[in-house]
Amino acid sequence: MAKYENDVKQLLKLIGGKKNIQAVSHCMTRMRFVLVDPKKADEKAIEEIPAVKGTFTQAGQYQVIIGNDVSVFYNEFTSYAGIEGVSKEAAKAAAKTNQNVVQKMMGALGEIFAPLIPALICGGLILGFRNIIGEINFFENGTKSLADMYQFWEGTYNFLWLIGEAVFHLLPVGIVWSITKKMGTTQILGIILGLTLVSSQLLNGFSVADTPTADIPVWDFGFTKVEMIGYQGQVIAAMMAGFVLVYLEKFFKKHCPEVISMIVVPFCSLVPAVIIAHTVVGPIGWTIGNAIADVVYGGLMSSFGWLFAGLFGLLYAPIVMTGLHHMTNAIDTQLVNTYDGTILWPMIALSNIAQGSSVLAMSILQKKNERAQQVNVPACISCYLGVTEPALFGVNLKYGFPLICGMIGSAIAAMISVGCGVQALSIGVGGLPGIISIKPEFYLIFLLAMAEAIVVPFVLTFFVGKKKLSKEDRGLAAKGTTAATETVLKEETAASVDKAPEESLTEIKAILSGKVIPIEEVDDDVFSQKVMGDGVAIEPTDTTVVAPADAEVSIVMAETGHACGLTLDNGMEILIHVGIDTVDMGGDGFKLLVAQGDHVSCGAPLIQFEPEKIKAAGHPTTTMLILTGEGTARNIQMRTGQTAEAGKTAVISFE
């Protein structure tokens, strides 16, 4: 009898049968399905399968979290179902076929803006801090700010604009770079094209409106003149220019002999792209961008603006789940650059808060449900800090009513915000910290809207949940335990006894040298929400992963080399995962130094990796050390916040 025979049979049935599976693959912890009809998958029932630790949908793939044994489960599943697995890249390609044109466009837009989000958040925080020290008059009867009173703060206020200008005024450089990165063309050419859009030789784009037409400098070619206008802060124009460069480069690469491509392709791609950017797509993009900003701003500031605001606040969370929300980044940035502020971003921050408040109510309702709390608590925190996907997919959508309660609270808060004309100086800072990006004159109104976004969703979710949630969901009654589950538990208990350590093991050493951070800070929901188990993460300063204790290598990812599993002498099971989403690299940049079944000593090398290749592929190098099984260990403590030395510094301790 196969190890997961019953679970495999259940999963195949609950996922809609063989005919509903377009493609299937797996990574270190998850089964990845591309389904013909995702609605046929019974998500709630699938999560009740003993081997399943959770599910979520991302980029058109339905992902089922299994854990360290995923390769065994995958082999049994494909054998039983009579399906041939495919590579991760093939699964991604298949997933895209399930998306319509709008979804593909929004997906592409999301992939373009995703690498820019950290810079936008940093820039938003910078502008928010400048706002506090230089724009709010705390002193002398409300006539002077910190910067007016003290030379240090005036210097700080002026210095911080160096970063703010780089983020928001020079944004076209980042946009064009991100487009070339996503489309797989030469990134340095994208950076150069972006720089030509914001060159100091040009009239600053923010000064165009105040400059008489006769005073705008031009390039005079004799037969025609081209205005020397910069595109500082312009989003649409930069995107259009970026795609012109991409398609020119792809065209010339396809038709140019390889022997001269190094010379011909860059020249014939970049020079025409710069010309087209400044003569055709730049002016068109400028016009489109300003038109979009005018329509949005005019609609929200009209006498019916509160109605549009309510609709936006109500629908923003569902829009996030479709990926269409990435369009708001472009609109928001355009509003900031056109009107020196955005009325849209405050509503987004309030929607974050509202959905987080629904999760907070669920956390209180399910305080005795340990499995639910492993998702609820980190999801609530991340939502209040502006990242809503864990809350939406992990909690609110799962139960339904928390999502609706959050939407109602968000709609009311949005109407308060827009009805009172609240504006933000910048984008990037969402959730509760979003208040620092708000213009000072709107602080009190925004605080009122924040209070509503906290109280209304919380109260609605709490009282609806008391009626709708079963005792099992709330952790007030144990779910039925099947005979099969009891057998597995007995076997695991027996195995733990058999593996009782001969010598006392009380700590696990660092697998890499570097900064040890809490697992909750990892930018991957499966790890940060502790779906696989608790643990720590390391921001590495070296390139060789070592064994954290004497152990047996229980599982390896031979094809990709980016992860492995260990079993310690006390029965503890450990998962080591180098980087985030590095399975997509197909093994490039990784060298696995051990095989399944090997016995290793503490400090023995396990994996070598090339951080430059990981970063070039667009992935963080953050490496996870996860406890997927506690064995006989008790009182486990995570020792984060320190700088560790591989194989020597204790990062997890226990009894």
Tokens read off for 393: 């997919």
30 near 66, Cβ under 8 Å? yes
Which of these is catalytic: 27, 383, 405, 564?
A: 27
**pLDDT tens per residue, range 93-115:** 555 555 556 556 656 666 777 67
Mean pLDDT value of segment 271-278 = 96
How would you label 596-611 residue by residue, b for 16+ Cβ within 10 Å and e otherwise?
eebebebebebbbbeb
Q: Position of tokens 């058999």?
A: 498
Q: Classify 7 as helix, strand or coil.
A: helix
Residue 488 has pLDDT above 50, yes or no: no
Q: Position of tokens 């950290």?
A: 118
Contacts of the segment 299-302: beta carbons below 8 A, 24+ positions apart:
300/343, 300/344, 300/418, 301/343, 301/421
Q: What is the pLDDT of residue 327?
A: 63
Please report, for residues 153, 159, 170, 299, 373, the alpha-carbon distance to residue 162 in angstroms, rounded to integers and kept in the order given. Answer: 15, 6, 11, 33, 43
**pLDDT tens per residue, range 553-568:** 988 887 788 999 999 9
Residues near 209 by beta carbon (within 8 Å), at least 6 away in sequence = none
Q: What is the pLDDT of residue 67?
A: 76
Q: What's the rounded Cα separation, in Å, for the pair 177 and 399?
A: 40
Q: What's the rounded Cα separation, in Å, for the pair 406 and 384?
A: 13
Of 352, 353, 398, the C-alpha closest to 375 is: 398
Q: What's the rounded Cα separation, in Å, for the pair 229 and 240?
A: 16
**pLDDT tens per residue, range 502-517:** 457 889 999 999 999 9
Tokens read off for 465: 């949940």
Check residue 203 and report its DSSP letter.
B
Q: What is the pLDDT of residue 174?
A: 92
Check residue 169 and report its DSSP letter.
I
Confidence at 1, pLDDT banded by 50, 70, 90: low
**pLDDT tens per residue, range 314-343:** 988 887 765 556 567 667 777 777 777 888
Q: Mean pLDDT score of the chain, rounded to an integer?
A: 84
Per-residue HEC secondary structure of 293-329 comes to HHHHHHHHHCCCHHHHHHHHHHHHHHHHHHCCCHHHH
Q: How far is CA 77 from the centre of its chain?
A: 30
380 is catalytic: no
Of 283, 290, 332, the C-alpha closest to 168 is: 332
Q: What is the pLDDT of residue 527?
A: 84
SS percent in the chain: helix, strand, coil, step 5: 55, 15, 30
Residue 481 has pLDDT above 50, yes or no: no
Residue 353 has pLDDT above 80, yes or no: yes
Highest mean pLDDT pick, 169-173, 244-248, 483-487: 244-248
Instruction: Kindly report which listed range (16-25, 315-324, 526-535, 613-622) carries the lowest average pLDDT score.
Output: 315-324
Structural domains in the chain, sorted by start: 5-98 (3.30.1360.60), 112-299 (no CATH), 301-312+339-474 (no CATH), 500-653 (2.70.70.10)
Residue 126: CA count within 13 A, CB half-sphere = 19
Of 235, 89, 111, the C-alpha closest to 168 is: 235
Question: At residue 647, what are phi and psi to the nearest 5 degrees?
Answer: 75, 0
Q: How far is CA 141 from the centre of its chain?
A: 44
Q: What's the rounded Cα separation, in Å, for the pair 419 and 598?
A: 66
What pTM did the predictor assign?
Answer: 0.55
- Say how many residues make up the chain: 655
506 near 655, Cβ under 8 Å? yes
577 near 623, Cβ under 8 Å? yes
Q: What is the pLDDT of residue 57?
A: 74
Determine what percent of the chain is predicted with pLDDT higher than 70.
89
Mean pLDDT value of segment 82-103 = 58
Please report, for residues 219, 236, 291, 331, the alpha-carbon distance to residue 284 in angstroms, rounded to integers and kept in the order given. Answer: 19, 9, 11, 16
Mean pLDDT value of segment 453-469 = 94
Per-residue HEC secondary structure of 399-416 comes to HCHHHHHHHHHHHHHHHH
Residue 126 has pLDDT above 90, yes or no: no
**pLDDT tens per residue, range 178-210:** 999 888 899 999 999 999 999 999 998 878 877
Task: Check the CA dihedral 284-286-291-292 and report its sign.
Answer: positive
Q: What is the pLDDT of residue 593?
A: 92
Q: What is the pLDDT of residue 501?
A: 42
Burial class (CB within 10 angstroms; exposed 0-12, middle 13-18, buried 19+) of 37: exposed
